[in-house]
Structure 1
Amino acid sequence: MVLADLGRRINNAVSEATKSSTVTQSVVDTLLKEISNALMESDVDIKLVLKLRKKLKATLEVKESDNITNRKKLIQKAVFDELCDLIDVKNVEIFKPRKKQSNVIMFVGLQGSGKTTTCTKLAVYYQRRGFKVGMVCADTFRAGAFDQLKQNATKARIPYFGSYTESDPVKVAQEGVEKFKKEKFEIIIVDTSGRHRQEEELFKEMVEIGEVVKPNQTIMVLDASIGQAAEAQARAFKESSNFGAIILTKMDGHAKGGGAISAVASSNTPIIFIGTGEHINDLESFTAKQFISKLLGIGDIQGLMEHVKTLNLDQGDSMKNFQEGKFTLKDLQSQMNNILKMGPLSKIAQMLPGGIGEMMNQVGEEETSNRFKRMICIMDSMTKKELESDGSIFIDEPSRIIRVARGSGTTVTEVEAVLLQRNMFARMAQTTKNMQSNLPPGMADKMQQPQFQKAMQQMQQNPDMMENIQKMMGGMGGMPGMGGMPGMGGMGGMPSMQDMQKMMQNPSFRQMADQMRKQFGM
């Protein structure tokens, strides 16, 4: 995403400010200047930037009595909070479709904004969450509109309705919605003709369709590349269709996305999704905190978990074995296949905290993906007996390594790297088992409760807490489970039990544990 450049610049500015031995007013002024320049170059309105700068300056006012550590914490938290506030729409209720009833969603927007494609993306999004979804093409104005929707729907295996002969879009919309309601569809998405502010007849048509289908939610699709102009377009459509939410498209390829998001937020209309690519799965739910977390490299663990749940990945016995402290080569093969099913590795990496996304950019998406595929190819060349082993069979019979290397078209070194990776996962599994066995009674069940997950999300969005965790992990050799991965050098290895014990003695870790014990009564 082009906005990653904005995130890097803001991160660098904050890092420079917090690295300074003394946080003077001059350091704060430099920080504010860098952040302001980065936002304006990303097409954020200058009035919004000046407002943010004024609020940040008041929050970060340097006092001689302030503790240096407290000032650094304040800088990190203030920047995060003010950026969230810049794009957050408050006190606006967002529609949430309910199952076992018909929810009609009508799409409106400009020509060329990606409206029909976005209809399909949203249909796939809800379909993966168990809704029965249908699509209606009420765009009779643009030649080929029904063909496009039909092609998209067929590819995504979603029922659709439209007509080659009926020219009245109001009638097509009415018939389509009535048909899907009779067939007990839960989500009915209505695609309308693209239009411009000057086209009064098309606006009138849009209003008539709305009166007939009575949508539960009207969504406007906006092209992020128009930047600050998004606010004017949003207001013009608001006067006619009174839409309740916005989806921003083409966020993956244009630096003006920051301007579009902030402009729409200033119009007090919530953005509910952003389009991040051309694939039917490239649609992400949008909240201010999640977006800023990803932008600043803090990560979006909640978004990652939501994404994983929709994929229905085949875990087999892998997770059970992992919890029991075991991890075979077959388990590693299964997890590698699942990682590739999750989508582009760069997209997944952006959801992880700790700058992994930046490392992925340095290594390269294609190279990393190829490394994963070669590892899977190596395991595909193993026998059933070898896959179900812990890898020791290769140590006892080294000729097996040569055979697998030849069979997979790889090298002996690459086969050894796969065996090393299995060893690291096995160590992690054993560590997890040991930690679970030392948990207080009932702790494992409490970790599954919604309030625990919410607390973890809040911790993730706390820059100070994330910094402490990263420092603890840094002292243990980096992110667990990633060391030794071909193409991912420099990320460290698995922590040993001694490392884990050392981490538990860390004051920050004990403080975090005490907070959780108080919250969950452990």
Structure 2
Amino acid sequence: MFENLSNKLNTAMRTLKGKGRITDVNVAATVKEIRRALMDADVNYKVAKEITDRIKDEAMGQKIVIAVDPGQMLVKIVHDELVKLMGSQVQGINLKSEPSVILIAGLQGSGKTTFSGKLAQYLKKSGRNVLLVACDIYRPAAIDQLKVLGEQVEVEVYSEPENKNAVQIAQNALEYARKMGKKVIIVDTAGRLAVDEAMMNEIAAVKEAIKPSETLFVVDSMTGQDAVNTAKAFNDRLNFDGVVLTKLDGDARGGAALSIRHVVEKPIKFISTGEKMDALDQFYPDRMASRILGMGDVLSLVERAQNAFDEEEAERINKKIRQNQFSFEDFYSQLQQIKKMGNIKDLMGMIPGMGQAIKDVDISNDSFTPIEAIIQSMTPKERQKPELLDMSRKKRIAAGSGTSVQQINNLLKQFEEMRKMMRMMNRVQDGKMKLPNFPKR
């Protein structure tokens, strides 16, 4: 997510690392590199110039504290300016009316239908009764796609396959939702080009007919500067309420997406980071700025863990750890919980300092596959008692899992080290093991 921008900004700010003080010369050189990094990442030129001018003015006006070196101070200044660029405060969606109507708009292929399904699940988790509405009457199989997504998230989909009037479908869906007691309606519309007058007139007519409480513009973060121009054209016609950035898990320069907030003066409300239905996050400007600068995003990591982990299962595992009974069966269960949290590389990037460390490392969710295959090839008794695994059993498991005996030995070693660490932590928690007394300063 914004990997190229992150790398280039960190490279630019190395100019000041280790410097004793800020001067006109070293600040000018650093700010020039920051501006180049922003523009290389597809940030609008005017936006890049404006933000770097503010960074320069702020840096030259700082009285550097002795304990903070100029490089650290500049990181904070750049962080604060990125937060301002992206909107300062988190912005939720308006769900005050009943039923609340959310209109989804955007270009063809921007990910509107997938986002509609994700948003339906996101709102359903908060206890709202949601209805998805299929108003894309042009794209082949668009209605079928929405129905498939509706089944995945267990949300009803309203459609009229034979009706080719998007305005009428939306109005009928609103009437149906009121009759059925639906609290939120998400209207998925056809992708359209801003230059297509007829299509723009149609979505404007849909908006006028159903008067949505929220209109969201969905934009593919990989489309570059065209995304900014398109957002402006859509906003001029629809006056939308917020922006949704999709495909942030791709190899995107990402800067254009950051420019949208500044150009159309509308907040970014959601970001989508994968194909899975739970790969949707509310947009927090301060957290995103921290991630871009390689400072991590612990709060989002904790929130994902809270959403993914079942409390009863967590308590059961904790009890087994305390009783020194943690098994491969439990380990496998924990792997499945972790996978629910999203892309592994994205998760690791949320840990402070890890973003730069793994920038050139290819980490896939498939990394767990050999481990899962080994555990699944064990008998229930072997999972509970790994010490039973002699050479004969290891060869059988290796053949069944498509791995090698060496891989099994490595897994057993790592698993035993993990169990030792768990035992040590339990002894500390129970007060049976005293930590060393360090001299007071």
Same fold by TM-score greater than 0.5: yes
| 2:376 corresponds to 1:376 | no
Task: Summarize the Cα distance change of 1:434–1:34 in structure 2 as closer, same or farther, 3 Å threshold.
Answer: farther
| 2:169 corresponds to 1:172 | yes
Q: Is the 8 A contact 2:113 2:188 kept in 1?
A: yes
| 2:108 corresponds to 1:115 | no
Match of 2:410 in 1: 417
Q: Is the 8 A contact 1:43 1:228 kept in 2?
A: yes
2:121 to 116, 124, 133: 124
Secondary structure class of the residue paired with 2:79: helix
**2:416 maps to amino acid:** N
Mapping 1:257-336, distance limit 5 Å: 257-311=254-308, 313=310, 315=314, 317-322=316-321, 327-336=326-335
Distance in 2 between the 1:169 and 1:239 partners? 21
Deviates more, 1:283-292 or 1:410-419: 410-419
Match of 2:341 in 1: 342
Distance in 1 between the 2:270 and 2:33 partners? 29
Secondary structure class of the residue paired with 1:137: strand
**2:122 maps to amino acid:** Y
**2:20 maps to amino acid:** T
Distance in 2 between the 1:404 and 1:296 partners? 44
For residues 46-73 of structure 1, what are the alpha-carbon distances to aligned partners after superposition, in whole Å with 9 as ceiling and x for unaligned? 2222222222223323889852634343
2:362 to 354, 358, 364: 364
Task: Summarize the Cα distance change of 1:333–1:225 in structure 2 as closer, same or farther, 3 Å threshold.
Answer: closer
Distance in 2 between the 1:408 and 1:141 partners? 46
Match of 1:95 in 2: 93
Task: Summarize the Cα distance change of 1:132–1:429 in structure 2 as closer, same or farther, 3 Å threshold.
Answer: farther
Q: Is the 8 A contact 1:107 1:189 kept in 2?
A: yes
Q: Is the 8 A contact 2:91 2:269 kept in 1?
A: no
Q: Is the 8 A contact 1:276 1:282 kept in 2?
A: yes
Q: CA deviation at 1:11?
A: 2.0
Distance in 1 between the 2:244 and 2:35 partners? 26
Match of 2:46 in 1: 47
Distance in 2 between the 1:144 and 1:398 partners? 53
When the two structures are superposed, what TM-score results if normalisation uses the length of structure 1? 0.72
Name the count of aligned residue pairs: 437
Higher relative contact order (CA 8 A, sep 6+): 2
For residues 450-475 of structure 1, what are the alpha-carbon distances to aligned partners after superposition, in whole Å with 9 as ceiling and x for unaligned? xxxxxxxxxxxxxxxxxxxxxxxxxx
Q: CA deviation at 1:506?
A: 10
Q: Is the 8 A contact 1:94 1:244 kept in 2?
A: no
Secondary structure class of the residue paired with 2:60: coil
For residues 123-162 of structure 1, what are the alpha-carbon distances to aligned partners after superposition, in whole Å with 9 as ceiling and x for unaligned? 2333344433221122335555434433443455432112
Mapping 1:174-189, distance limit 5 Å: 174-189=171-186
Secondary structure class of the residue paired with 2:304: helix
When the two structures are superposed, what TM-score results if normalisation uses the length of structure 2? 0.84
**1:276 maps to amino acid:** T
Q: Is the 8 A contact 2:298 2:350 kept in 1?
A: yes
Match of 2:60 in 1: 61
Mapping 1:185-204, distance limit 5 Å: 185-204=182-201
Secondary structure class of the residue paired with 2:212: coil
Task: Summarize the Cα distance change of 1:97–1:309 in structure 2 as closer, same or farther, 3 Å threshold.
Answer: farther
Distance in 2 between the 1:259 and 1:497 partners? 54
For residues 150-192 of structure 1, what are the alpha-carbon distances to aligned partners after superposition, in whole Å with 9 as ceiling and x for unaligned? 3443455432112122232222111112223322223211122
Q: CA deviation at 1:38?
A: 0.7
Task: Summarize the Cα distance change of 1:402–1:227 in structure 2 as closer, same or farther, 3 Å threshold.
Answer: closer
Q: CA deviation at 1:316?
A: 7.0
- % same residue: 31
Q: CA deviation at 1:326?
A: 5.7
Distance in 2 between the 1:378 and 1:145 partners? 40
Task: Summarize the Cα distance change of 1:323–1:31 in structure 2 as closer, same or farther, 3 Å threshold.
Answer: farther
RMSD: 3.5
1:433 to 415, 426, 440: 426
Task: Summarize the Cα distance change of 1:331–1:155 in structure 2 as closer, same or farther, 3 Å threshold.
Answer: closer
Q: Is the 8 A contact 1:326 1:430 kept in 2?
A: no
Distance in 2 between the 1:279 and 1:376 partners? 20
Distance in 2 between the 1:407 and 1:110 partners? 47
Task: Summarize the Cα distance change of 1:66–1:179 in structure 2 as closer, same or farther, 3 Å threshold.
Answer: closer
Q: CA deviation at 1:271?
A: 0.8
For residues 386-408 of structure 1, what are the alpha-carbon distances to aligned partners after superposition, in whole Å with 9 as ceiling and x for unaligned? 4334x5566xx676656654554
Distance in 1 between the 2:250 and 2:398 partners? 40
| 2:212 corresponds to 1:215 | yes
Q: CA deviation at 1:89?
A: 5.2
Mapping 1:219-258, distance limit 5 Å: 219-253=216-250, 255-258=252-255
Distance in 2 between the 1:105 and 1:428 partners? 49
Secondary structure class of the residue paired with 1:188: strand
**2:373 maps to amino acid:** C
Mapping 1:433-512, distance limit 5 Å: 433-434=426-427, 436-437=429-430
**1:421 maps to amino acid:** Q
Distance in 2 between the 1:198 and 1:63 partners? 47
Secondary structure class of the residue paired with 1:219: strand
Distance in 2 between the 1:272 and 1:115 partners? 14
**2:192 maps to amino acid:** R
Match of 1:205 in 2: 202
Distance in 1 between the 2:156 and 2:398 partners? 47
Point out where structure 2 has 5 or more consecutive residues left out of the alignment: none
Task: Summarize the Cα distance change of 1:27–1:319 in structure 2 as closer, same or farther, 3 Å threshold.
Answer: farther
Point out where structure 1 has 5 or more consecutive residues left out of the alignment: 439-495, 508-522
Distance in 2 between the 1:405 and 1:70 partners? 54
Q: CA deviation at 1:277?
A: 3.7
Match of 1:387 in 2: 383
